[in-house]
Homo-oligomer: A and B are copies of this chain.
Amino acid sequence: MIFVGFGFLMTFLQRYGYSSVGFNFLLAAFGIQWALLMQGWFHSYKEGYIRLGVENLINADFCVGSVCVAFGAVLGKVSPVQLLIMTLFQVTLFSVNEFILLSLLEVKDAGGSMTIHTFGAYFGLTVTWILYRPSLHQSKERQSSVYHSDLFAMIGTLFLWMYWPSFNSAVSKHGDAQHRAAINTYCSLAACVLTSVALSSALHKKGKLDMVHIQNATLAGGVAVGTAAEMMLMPYGSLIVGFICGIVSTLGFVYLTPFLESQLRIQDTCGIHNLHGLPGIIGAIVGAVTASCASAKVYGIKGLANFFGFDGFKTSWDSSMQGKFQAAGLFVSLAIALVGGIIVGVILKLPFWGQPADENCFEDSVYWEMPEELKSTVLHPEDSTLKPAEP
């Protein structure tokens, strides 16, 4: 299941055409191989061999998901070479972060609210902050969508939406925890759609809906139950989380993204801060709170010990201790994302990676052989709006 889900995290971004899909494909293929190696070294290295199973492939997919999130922030402003370098570093940092969280701090993060979304989003945002382009407005007219490209993006949204429950439950323990994860995610997503649509309409002065909100904010609910999905969040808890996330994410698109761009010089192409950053933090907090509140009454004594793995050196833990470690996991993720993002951003700022000029951002023809006919007049509408302005 998870293979398709991530396949369409890629097409979801295809508003900018060939490059979005093609580069995403490229970095995913590269990232998966590198992630297999990295995660193999950290988790399944044994007697000189890396033992490889389907679970490793799923984990590598998750890792690449984090890269795709960060790709959303720098989309259209970097060259393929820069992307590969970013992937190389990010996969490494992801593996380190995942190792610290899951193996050292022993936090629960089945759906990756912390490891994938929060880490990926703030890493990407830091990189794009370092790579700030003051004259990006020269490419501004190519940054908007057109009628058909929004429909393509909508295919991606629907796909992610449908696969999110499988995604959040993929690495859960089989049985009850897996079912819980799927059902909680489902409820949260459904609630999130309603608040996103309602708020999108309420914030528009004529009550119209904005396609960007529908494409993105509707998914925030899935991000936000990532950590807590396999816990006893209960359906009503998921509905509340989805409800809140729909509001936060839509508000983010309307007010926060323009603010980030104008005041903090963070140019967030796809608005990943609203889809992955904020809901990821919410998800981590929800996870910490849910873990803290876990009681033997709801899980059963054995169930609790079994679920959180209170054995070995964790024998003396209780749920509130687990909750504190969950919170620590969030801060570790954020710290690694920020520090790593600054380092990688500085490396990518070096002038010999073939990055496009400010006026060529969001432009496929810099990197792609384009179909000949009509390219610049009708069928490549981003161009057509540019060309008349040139002469």
- Chain A residues with a Cβ under 8 A of chain B: 3-4, 6-8, 10-11, 14, 17-18, 21-22, 25-26, 29-30, 32-33, 36, 52-54, 57, 80, 141, 144-148, 150-152, 154-155, 158-159, 161-163, 165-166, 179, 182-183, 186-187, 189-191, 193-194, 197, 201, 204, 208-211, 214, 218, 235, 239, 367-375, 378-381, 384-385
Contacts and interface: CB of A to CB of B under 8 A. Distances in A.
Give how many copies assemble into the complex. Answer: 3
Contacts of A179: 53-54
A211 B152 contact: no
Nearest to A373: B385
Given A17-B147, A33-B194, A210-B369, 7 more contacts: A11-B154, A18-B151, A29-B194, A29-B218, A30-B193, A57-B182, A204-B369
A81 to B, nearest CB: 10
B214 A25 contact: yes
Contacts of A384: 373-374, 378
A369 B17 CA distance: 21
Given A165-B3, A214-B22, A150 B182 contact: no
A190 B29 contact: yes
B148 A21 contact: no
Contact of A26 (B10, B18, B145, B197): B197
Nearest to A214: B22
